[in-house]
Amino acid sequence: MKINGRLFIGLLFSSLLLTFSSHAQTVLPTIFNNHMVLQQEDTVAIWGTDVPDVELSLQTSWGEKLTTQSDPEGHWRFALPTPKTDCQPQWLKIKGTTTVEYADVLLGEVWVCSGQSNMEYPLEGWNDQPIRKYNKLMMDTDYHDIRLYKIDKRFNQVPQTDIKSAQWTVAGMNTVHNFSAVGFLYAKRLHHMLKVPVGVIQSAWGGSLVEAWMSKSVLQKHFPTYHWSEIDLNKGRANGWPYTIYNAMIHPIIGYGVKGFLWYQGESNRHWPAEYKELFPAMIQQWRDEWGQGDLPFYYVQIAPYIYDSKVNSAYLREAQMQTLDKLSNVGMACIMDLGEEKSIHPSHKDEVAERLSYWALNKTYGLNRIACCGPIYKSMKQVKEGQILISFKDTFKGLYTFGKPLTGFEIAGQDKVFHPAQATIVRNKNQVLVSCPEVTAPVAVRYCFKNWVVGSLFNGAHLPASSFRTDQWTDK
């Protein structure tokens, strides 16, 4: 039997179209899912893929109706306005080749929590590294208005567009136990104070270097002589390779509407504080640029004192973190000089760390300026009579205090650059500390807690500690 040529081609085309249509679908990344939190009072991006040049519509329970069209490659994006939250579950419906619906969606505050192991550290702690107040914390974990999105550890040499295994979950004992303790406890503080839903995105990997969380292009810009592209994935450890974690754990969520970032990292970069001074601010700026929401708040934790190898002084890394406060706007540092543990690089006081991060957000981001957020910061020094140096501080909320304990950790040196333990006294009502040592008759420099392991003793009236600091710029031998 003969078949008309045109009829055959038409039947073949119809068959192919039917086959293609049966497989085509409207697809969104997993960052969009049931139980997600969308940033309230903002315009958030919703994106995905579909058949090229197809019309899509988006409808929400709060009355928004939008349309768009996929581009020739099948990519599409909505700019969705969100109202102030009423704390009630919402829904979204996206209709393209197929229809995708999301339920139990909340409008609220969304924060990205990233860094290395101290951010990854879960609420249940780790073997031989427990968290303080475990039972008390675990008995207060059921919060329907707190949502968690945990990104598993992964890396890639090229930027990825999705994280297949991740999903949003409702905070509860069985979901929070292996989630970032700092991230969840921070969300709980915000929820209590602001009375709004909070979403937390965890993207952290223990032992990771800051350069692993940056793009190759930014690294090449700041350090052009380094061969960033020559990475052998068969050598070294995954959390030490530059840009590969960024590709797999940050790039897929870029553009998701957020309020800001939390960061707890630096221990793995302690050998290279000079480079960190440039890399860390560059990473912050890169993330802000790529999110395209202006100077998003970026609050980070200064690494804690710990008995590191004596060959490196981690105080220089703490100094690099401190100096970031002067390089960028809308950043804040939670100092934990009093919370370190000599034999554990993972301090167990995670609730206090989350609390101090929340002070920055509540004060600077949410306008609750009666909440103090910063500890005393070194301002200047002045030589005075009889071999004494007077140190002045700023951010001394209600003055300087030790809260009944000795004022320790100060050292003083003369022109020989040899530091000696010093006597230190708080000058009341002056926001100053007077430092001296009988062995140094002509002092020129002072250091405070500028060692690997030390316990901070100087606080302001809000019981927030002073960072380690130095008045000199000498290079240690």
188: in domain: yes
Q: What is the pLDDT of residue 23?
A: 59
26: in domain: no
Q: What is the pLDDT of residue 232?
A: 79
382: in domain: yes
Phi, psi of 137 (to 5 degrees): -70, -40
Domain range for 387? 378-470
Count of C-beta atoms within a 10 Å radius of residue 295 = 13
Asked if 278 and 195 sit in the same domain, the reply is yes
Domain count within the chain: 3
Give the whole-angstrom CA distance, residue 53 versus residue 50: 9
Asked if 430 and 452 sit in the same domain, the reply is yes
Q: For the residues of 321-344, what is the DSSP string, one character each?
A: HHHGGGTSSSEEEE--TTS-BTTB
CATH number of residue 48's parent domain: 2.60.40.10
Asked if 116 and 91 sit in the same domain, the reply is no
Give the whole-angstrom CA distance, residue 68 versus residue 213: 33
Q: What is the pLDDT of residue 233?
A: 80
476: in domain: no
Asked if 290 and 415 sit in the same domain, the reply is no
CATH number of residue 181's parent domain: 3.40.50.1110
Interval 247-264: pLDDT, tens:
999 999 999 999 999 999
Which residue, 58, 74, 107, sits at the end of a domain?
Answer: 107
Residue 323 has pLDDT above 80, yes or no: yes
CA atoms within 13 A on the CB side of 393: 31
Asked if 216 and 67 sit in the same domain, the reply is no
12: in domain: no
What pTM did the predictor assign? 0.94
316: in domain: yes
Residue 439 has pLDDT above 90, yes or no: yes
Asked if 361 and 390 sit in the same domain, the reply is no
Interval 445-458: pLDDT, tens:
999 999 999 999 99
Interval 386-399: pLDDT, tens:
899 999 999 999 99
**Parallel, antiparallel, or unpaired for β 410-413 and 445-448?**
antiparallel
Residue 310 has pLDDT above 80, yes or no: no
Q: What is the pLDDT of residue 394?
A: 95
Asked if 112 and 98 sit in the same domain, the reply is no
477: in domain: no
Q: What is the pLDDT of residue 4?
A: 52
